[in-house]
């Protein structure tokens, strides 16, 4: 009998020792757990650096950063939140905010932002996006995403083409810059995952003034943009862009390939988000000064419409260290940290102080300033708050690919999208 | 009186032994229960629930609703048909090449150890990584495969491998064959080395050629292993979405999904755990039917053993 007893004693002692040691590890203070979504090695390093600065200023708080792989990060976060796991600060994106609020995973920050001076340093758009679900701030955005047109100025001037400002001009330029024999193509087409975004962009530009910006998938008369006759012209143009001005393999291209296409010099035109500015600057395959960014192309009526994507930080509703979590959130969202974050990741900044910063008013970022000052560049909303949004994206990608391989017709695809969104609206998902 | 007390210790001992055995088994049973059976049963329950991550406020039971929706989708049937093609061609390629490699590796030659290590290397890689590597290799504009074909003068213009359903599926199967050859080599080589030397000698004395000895002596001897390995591998290939998910994610136009990537898409895209679990349950039923066949086949083999 002696042996089991000593074993039990040993176990108890071990458990006690472990808990004491773990206690020591946290300095006896608060441990915050932060989970990020848009993970990348450079970004994680920067975030860690910012967290270290926060810990130095708040020695009683210990911060643990959780970085799931990018591909499945939002899925992991959703699971962690629905299981009410031990997480205090969470990265929230425009695509996930409605879901997290639905499931009551996020804390309403209203009482906190009221007393937080940093709130007033945010741009009006940032404060609007913070409260885009239910009118309450469930997150503080750290940056915006908008498309811009990346263009090889050297090749354009070589071919005697002026920088394209409309879709028809873009196609004309893409066709002229395509030389398959040299493995050189005009446009970095995205036919793989995420292609729906570009289809919707061109349809919106063609439908132009009919579109209701507050509900970007619908026209002001209440019907969907996919039912408009202009949508047919837009999709046919989109197909022509693929067939005559883009690499044939781009049917399978997703984000990494289309960016690689541009940075390796295979393609000369690319429509992408601001973080690609950093990637392109770092690319060794491009001669210095050979490229620029331009506002995205407009439709025949002179309008370009696109959503403003955003991401930010939110506090979980079940956090046991609310005040500390809010403190960290305020630190990360301060003008000083926020501008550093936006600069190093080339994001559109959320702080008013950015207007005085030369990095955001010159060079590759100037296109964003131009777009912000151009009334013909309209910001629209995507129906991300509808339950069908996730499902539709996957289906729409398949539909566009079916169009590209010739298995479906433009009328079939547009018809099914029109039907889908008309039904979603009738079901009142919003 | 002693006869009265005699059975007692035996009973206590037996009960103690029972307890002891249970205690020894408990950790394993617990682990299997928690990590295999609980998730399986939970998945089975979810497949009858309205369970979408977008809104978890109403997760009531909806009967066969998820199954009806899934079975009504043409994409499901495409995925099912692709699963057949995927398993059949991957398996055939892996088996034939694996068998050949095992035969080559059986003979002693200089540097065999190094060569074996190289052959077995792919088995140590993650399927997702393999998918990503082949995705770039098959890329029409910057891929190495097209570059080689162009340089060798086999093609005039690059083939957009991942842009057509047939080529994309061919590419996926090539990647999978590359990955899985190893498994067959290891297993078949082990089986070949178990063939007694006397059988080889007897065959040679009877004047059998190499092919005859292989066909009439070696293969029948290792047949139980072959049957087992093939059947196991069928289950694994069917349950192996990694390469397809990373290479094309079912594209172009959803034409290269197999049933397991189709299931993953139900979660990643629509976030519909209910429908995904329904697909999972269908896979389970299919595999169960297959296992019944597998057990019947192995029993058949035992009766014919040497």
Residue segments in chain B with a per-residue pLDDT below the cut of 70 = 1-12, 298-306
Query: Please, are residues A79 and A108 in contact by the beta-carbon 8 Å criterion?
Result: no
Q: Does B75-302 carry CATH code 1.10.3720.10?
A: yes
Grouping H, G, I as helix, E, B as strand and the rest as coil, residue A374 is: coil
B150 vs chain A: nearest CA distance in angstroms? 12
Question: Which residues of chain A have a CB within 8 Å of the CB of B254?
Answer: 398, 401-402
- Provide the pLDDT for residue B231: 85
Length of chain A as a residue count:
430
Residue A368 has pLDDT above 70, yes or no: yes
Which residues between 220 and 259 in chain B have a beta carbon less than 8 angstroms from any beta carbon of chain A? 248-254
Chain B residue whose CA is closest to A403: B253
**Average per-residue pLDDT in chain A?**
89
Cross-chain Cβ contact A260/B142 below 8 Å:
yes
Cross-chain Cβ contact B252/A257 below 8 Å:
no
B234 vs chain A: nearest CA distance in angstroms? 27
Q: If we measure between CA atoms, which residue out of B146, B174, B143 comes closest to residue B159?
A: B146
Instruction: Tell me the average pLDDT across A144-152.
Output: 94
Cross-chain Cβ contact B165/A82 below 8 Å:
no
Grouping H, G, I as helix, E, B as strand and the rest as coil, residue B153 is: coil
Residue A430 has pLDDT above 70, yes or no: no
Chain B residue whose CA is closest to A258: B141
Q: How many angstroms separate the CA atoms of B271 and B167, rounded? A: 29
Chain A residue whose CA is closest to B257: A398
A114 vs chain B: nearest CA distance in angstroms? 29
What HEC string does B88-145 produce?
HHHHHHHHHHHHHHHHHHHCCCCCHHHHHHHHHHHHHCCHHHHHHHHHHHCCCCCCHH
Could you tell me whether strands A89-93 and A30-35 are parallel, antiparallel, or unpaired per DSSP bridges? Answer: parallel
Q: How many angstroms separate the CA atoms of B221 and B85, rounded? A: 30
Question: Which residues of chain A have a CB within 8 Å of the CB of B141?
Answer: 183, 185, 247, 249-250, 261, 266
**Between A372 and A349, whose confidence is greater?**
A349
Cross-chain Cβ contact A261/B249 below 8 Å:
no
- Provide the pLDDT for residue A327: 94
CA torsion sign for B284, B286, B292, B294 is: negative
Q: How many angstroms separate the CA atoms of A413 and A395, rounded? A: 10
Q: What are phi and psi of A268, to 5 degrees?
A: -115, -15
User: What are the tokens at B254?
Assistant: 């959803």
Q: How many angstroms separate the CA atoms of A100 and B53, rounded? A: 9
Q: What is the largest CA-CA distance in chain B?
A: 101
Chain A residue whose CA is closest to B59: A103
CA torsion sign for A149, A154, A157, A158 is: negative
User: What are the tokens at A389?
Assistant: 């949004």
Question: Which residues of chain A have a CB within 8 Å of the CB of B272?
Answer: 391
Chain A residue whose CA is closest to B264: A72
- Provide the pLDDT for residue B2: 46
Angle between helical axes of A322-332 and A335-344 (0-180°, round to 10): 60
Q: How many angstroms separate the CA atoms of A379 and A201, rounded? A: 11
Query: Please, are residues A294 and A367 in contact by the beta-carbon 8 Å criterion?
Result: yes
B18 vs chain A: nearest CA distance in angstroms? 18
**Between A37 and B302, whose confidence is greater?**
A37
User: What are the tokens at A149?
Assistant: 């047109």
Beta strand spans in B8-102 (E):
none
B251 vs chain A: nearest CA distance in angstroms? 7
CA torsion sign for B211, B213, B214, B216 is: positive
**Dihedral of the alpha carbons of A232, A235, A239, A241, in degrees to the nearest 10:** 120
Q: What are phi and psi of A33, to 5 degrees?
A: -115, 130
**B139 in contact with chain A, both atoms CB, cutoff 8 A:** yes
Grouping H, G, I as helix, E, B as strand and the rest as coil, residue B187 is: helix
Cross-chain Cβ contact B55/A407 below 8 Å:
no
Question: Which residues of chain B have a CB within 8 Å of the CB of A251?
Answer: 160, 162-163, 252
Instruction: Tell me the average pLDDT across A128-140.
Output: 92
Question: Which residues of chain A have a CB within 8 Å of the CB of B163?
Answer: 191, 248-252, 404-405
Query: Please, are residues A118 and A330 in contact by the beta-carbon 8 Å criterion?
Result: yes
Contacts of B291 (CB under 8 A, 6+ apart): B235
Which residues is B125 bridged to in the sheet? Answer: none
User: What are the tokens at B240?
Assistant: 């192996």
Model confidence pLDDT, tens digit, residues B104-152: 888 878 888 888 888 888 888 888 999 999 999 998 888 899 889 989 9
Q: Which domains does chain A have, with CATH numbers?
A: 30-144+309-350 (3.40.190.10), 148-307+379-427 (3.40.190.10)
Grouping H, G, I as helix, E, B as strand and the rest as coil, residue A143 is: strand
Q: What is the pTM of this model?
A: 0.80
Contacts of A166 (CB under 8 A, 6+ apart): A297, A298, A299, A300
**B192 in contact with chain A, both atoms CB, cutoff 8 A:** no
Instruction: Tell me the average pLDDT across A151-171.
Output: 95
Query: Which of B251, B254, B263, B265 should we substitute to test contact with A (largest number of A Cβ atoms within 10 Å)?
Result: B251
Query: Which of A76, A104, A252 should we substitute to test contact with B (largest number of B Cβ atoms within 10 Å)?
Result: A252
Cross-chain Cβ contact A404/B55 below 8 Å:
no
- Provide the pLDDT for residue B8: 57
Residue appearing with tokens 């500015």: A277
Length of chain B as a residue count:
306
Other CB atoms within 10 A of residue B154 CB = 9
Query: Which of B163, B166, B257 should we substitute to test contact with A (largest number of A Cβ atoms within 10 Å)?
Result: B163
Grouping H, G, I as helix, E, B as strand and the rest as coil, residue B233 is: helix
Contacts of B282 (CB under 8 A, 6+ apart): B67, B70, B259
User: What are the tokens at A101?
Assistant: 């609020």
Cross-chain Cβ contact A405/B158 below 8 Å:
no
Which residues is A64 bridged to in the sheet? Answer: A33
Transcribe A284-353 into DSSP letters. Answer: SSS-TTSEEEEPPPB-TTS-EEEE-EEEEEEEBTT-S-HHHHHHHHHHHTSHHHHHHHHHHTT-B--BGG
Q: What are phi and psi of A119, to 5 degrees?
A: -60, -40
pLDDT category of residue A4 using cuts at 50, 70 and 90 = very low
User: What are the tokens at A364?
Assistant: 């590759």
Other CB atoms within 10 A of residue A99 CB = 28
**B214 in contact with chain A, both atoms CB, cutoff 8 A:** no
Range in A201-215, A219-233, B104-118 with the lowest mean pLDDT: B104-118
Other CB atoms within 10 A of residue A306 CB = 23
| 8-state DSSP, B52 | B
Using CA atoms, how far residue A183 sits from A95, A152, A265, B25, B142, in Å, is 36, 16, 9, 63, 9
Instruction: Tell me the average pLDDT across A50-62.
Output: 95
- Provide the pLDDT for residue A373: 83
Transcribe A221-274 into DSSP letters. Answer: TSSBGGGSHHHHHHHHHHHHHHHHHS-GGGGG--HHHHHHHHHTTSEEEEEE-T
Query: Please, are residues A144 and A347 in contact by the beta-carbon 8 Å criterion?
Result: yes
Q: How many angstroms separate the CA atoms of B213 and A344, rounded? A: 69
- Provide the pLDDT for residue A5: 52
Q: If we measure between CA atoms, which residue out of A209, A269, A191, A203 comes closest to residue A237?
A: A203
CA torsion sign for A355, A358, A360, A362 is: positive
Question: Which residues of chain A have a CB within 8 Å of the CB of B139?
Answer: 249, 257
**Between A360 and A263, whose confidence is greater?**
A263
Whether this model's ipTM surpasses 0.95 comes out as: no
Please give the share of chain A, as a percent, with pLDDT higher than 90.
64
Question: Which residues of chain B have a CB within 8 Å of the CB of A193?
Answer: 249, 251
């Amino acid at each position: 009998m002696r042996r089991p007893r000593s074993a039990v004693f040993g176990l108890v002692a071990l458990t006690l020792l472990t808990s004491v040691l773990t206690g020591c590890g946290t300095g006896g203070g608060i441990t915050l757990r932060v989970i990020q979504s848009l993970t990348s090695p450079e970004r994680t390093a920067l975030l860690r650096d910012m967290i270290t600065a926060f810990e130095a200023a708040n020695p009683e708080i210990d911060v643990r950063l959780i970085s799931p792989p990018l591909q499945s990060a939002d899925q992991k976060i959703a699971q962690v939140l629905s299981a009410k796991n031990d997480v205090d600060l969470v990265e929230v994106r425009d695509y996930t905010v409605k879901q997290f609020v639905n499931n009551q995973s996020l804390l309403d920050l209203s009482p906190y932002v009221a007393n937080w001076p940093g709130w007033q340093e945010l741009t009006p758009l940032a404060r609007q996006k913070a409260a885009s679900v239910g009118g309450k701030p469930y997150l503080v955005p750290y940056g915006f995403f908008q498309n811009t047109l990346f263009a090889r100025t050297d090749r354009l001037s070589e071919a005697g083409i002026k920088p394209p400002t409309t879709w028809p001009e873009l196609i004309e330029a893409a066709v002229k810059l395509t030389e398959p024999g040299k493995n050189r193509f005009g446009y970095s087409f995205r036919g793989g995952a995420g292609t729906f975004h570009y289809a919707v962009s061109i349809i919106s530009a063609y439908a132009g003034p009919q579109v209701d910006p507050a509900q970007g998938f619908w026209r002001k008369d209440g019907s969907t943009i996919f039912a408009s006759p202009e949508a047919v012209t837009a999709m046919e143009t989109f197909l022509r862009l693929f067939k005559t001005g883009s690499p044939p393999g781009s049917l399978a291209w997703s984000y990494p390939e289309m960016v690689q296409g541009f940075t390796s010099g295979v393609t000369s035109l690319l429509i992408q988000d601001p973080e690609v500015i950093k990637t392109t600057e770092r690319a060794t395959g491009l001669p210095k000064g050979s490229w620029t960014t331009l506002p995205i192309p407009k439709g025949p009526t002179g309008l370009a419409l696109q959503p403003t994507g955003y991401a930010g930080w939110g506090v979980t509703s079940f956090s046991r260290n609310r005040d500390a979590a809010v403190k960290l959130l305020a630190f990360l969202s301060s003008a000083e940290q926020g501008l550093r974050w936006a600069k190093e990741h080339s994001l559109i900044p959320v702080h008013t102080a950015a207007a005085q910063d030369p990095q955001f008013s010159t060079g590759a970022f100037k296109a964003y300033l131009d777009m912000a000052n151009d009334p013909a560049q309209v910001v629209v909303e995507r129906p991300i708050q509808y339950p069908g949004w996730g499902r539709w994206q996957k289906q729409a990608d398949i539909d566009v690919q079916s169009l590209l391989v010739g298995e479906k017709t433009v009328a079939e695809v547009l018809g099914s999208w029109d039907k889908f969104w008309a039904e979603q609206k009738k079901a009142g998902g919003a | 009186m002693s006869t009265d007390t005699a059975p007692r210790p035996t009973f206590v001992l037996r009960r103690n032994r029972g307890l002891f055995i249970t205690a020894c088994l408990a950790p394993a049973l617990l682990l299997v229960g928690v990590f295999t059976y609980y998730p399986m049963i939970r998945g089975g329950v979810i497949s009858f629930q309205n369970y979408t991550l977008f809104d978890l406020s109403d997760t009531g039971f909806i009967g066969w609703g998820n199954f009806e929706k899934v079975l009504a989708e043409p994409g499901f049937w495409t995925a099912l048909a692709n699963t057949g093609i995927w398993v059949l061609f991957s398996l055939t390629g892996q088996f034939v090449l694996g068998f050949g490699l095992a035969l080559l590796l059986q003979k002693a030659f200089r540097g065999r150890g190094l060569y074996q290590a190289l052959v077995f290397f792919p088995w140590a890689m993650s399927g997702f990584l393999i998918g990503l590597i082949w995705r770039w290799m098959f890329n029409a504009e910057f891929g190495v495969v097209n570059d080689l074909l162009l340089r060798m003068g086999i093609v005039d213009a690059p083939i957009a491998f991942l842009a057509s359903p047939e080529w994309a599926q061919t590419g996926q199967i090539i990647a999978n064959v590359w990955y899985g050859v190893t498994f067959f080599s290891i297993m078949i080589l082990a089986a070949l080395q178990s063939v007694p030397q006397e059988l080889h000698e007897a065959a040679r004395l009877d004047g059998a050629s190499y092919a005859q000895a292989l066909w009439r002596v070696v293969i029948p001897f290792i047949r139980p292993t072959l049957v087992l390995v093939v059947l196991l591998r069928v289950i694994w290939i069917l349950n192996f979405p990694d390469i397809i998910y990373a290479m094309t994610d079912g594209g172009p136009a959803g034409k290269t999904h197999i049933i397991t990537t189709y299931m993953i898409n139900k979660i990643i895209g629509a976030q519909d755990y209910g429908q995904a679990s329904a697909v999972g349950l269908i896979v389970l039923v299919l595999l169960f039917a297959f296992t019944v066949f597998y057990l019947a086949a192995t029993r058949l083999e035992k009766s014919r053993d040497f």
